[in-house]
Amino acid sequence: MVNLTNRQLGLLRLSNLLTQNTLTDNNTTSNTNTNSGISENISIDLPGFDLDAGLNLDFGRNDGTGTDLPDTPGTIRDVLLTMVNERLQVTTTSGVITGTLISVQGNYIVIIEADGSQVLVPINEIDTFREL
Amino acid sequence: MFQETFAAELATRIGSFVEVVTDSDMIDGVLSNVTADLVLVVNVGSGYGSNTLYLSIDAINFVRFPSAVA
């Protein structure tokens, strides 16, 4: 056994007291009396939360692959409103209409085809549409 | 320039030549009358029987106004 000076012994006692206080605090803040302070420290391992934060989907949007996802659309009408004066292909149950979208009204759209024909399409009849 | 609803816009075009397309048919004719629920088309291409066709507005997929008479 190493011989310690009185000063060293005093410091060692203080150190032991501090350690016991820490363990006691952990036990008093816990609802379980059977766990030691050490095991509780392990059970609330904060780095685990950091891992969850790493799963944020926003990080995947601009990953340099050039595949940016568009914002989530609200309604078909909202998306069509952003395409006014653009060339469009609209599919309905009975056929495809291709032309320039010139107006989006309350429940229908107006398309001008290449030959100048006007086509009125009720929005609720649209199956698919895409900008050309 | 255009009316707010599909039926109201069609009503402004009474007398126009139209192609009305539904799930199962395409009707050429002159737009004769329009209400909130119905469209009346006089089919000028048919030589037999009644030339008048009533369509439910909800059954219409789209209406084309050909450029020559649009």
ipTM: 0.90
Q: Name residue A120's beta-bridge partners.
A: A110, B63
Q: Where are the beta strands (DSSP E) in chain A?
A: 87-92, 95-104, 108-112, 118-122, 126-131
A81 and A126 part of one domain? yes
pLDDT digits (tens, 9 = 90+) for A40-89: 444 445 555 454 444 444 544 455 555 666 677 789 999 999 999 999 99
> HSE-up of B47 (CA within 13 Å, CB side)?
0
Within 8 A of B61 by CB-CB distance, chain A residues are 92-95, 121-122, 125
A118 and A86 part of one domain? yes
Within 8 A of B67 by CB-CB distance, chain A residues are 113, 115-118
Q: What is the domain extent for residue A89?
A: 76-131
Q: Is residue A68 part of a domain?
A: no
Residue B70 and residue A117: Cβ atoms within 8 Å?
yes
Closest residue of chain B to A106, computed from CA coordinates: B4
pLDDT digits (tens, 9 = 90+) for A75-95: 999 999 999 999 999 999 999
Q: Enumerate domains of chain B plus CATH numbers.
A: 6-64 (2.30.30.100)
A80 and A117 part of one domain? yes
Q: Is residue A110 part of a domain?
A: yes
Number of A/B CB contacts below 8 angstroms equals 67
Say how many domains are in chain A.
2
Q: Is residue A33 part of a domain?
A: yes
Residue B62 and residue A118: Cβ atoms within 8 Å?
no
Q: Is residue A37 part of a domain?
A: yes
A55 and A91 part of one domain? no
Q: What is the CATH number of the domain that holds A114?
A: 2.30.30.100
A126/A119 Cα distance (integer angstroms)? 13
pLDDT digits (tens, 9 = 90+) for B20-42: 999 998 989 999 989 988 888 87
A10 and A56 part of one domain? yes
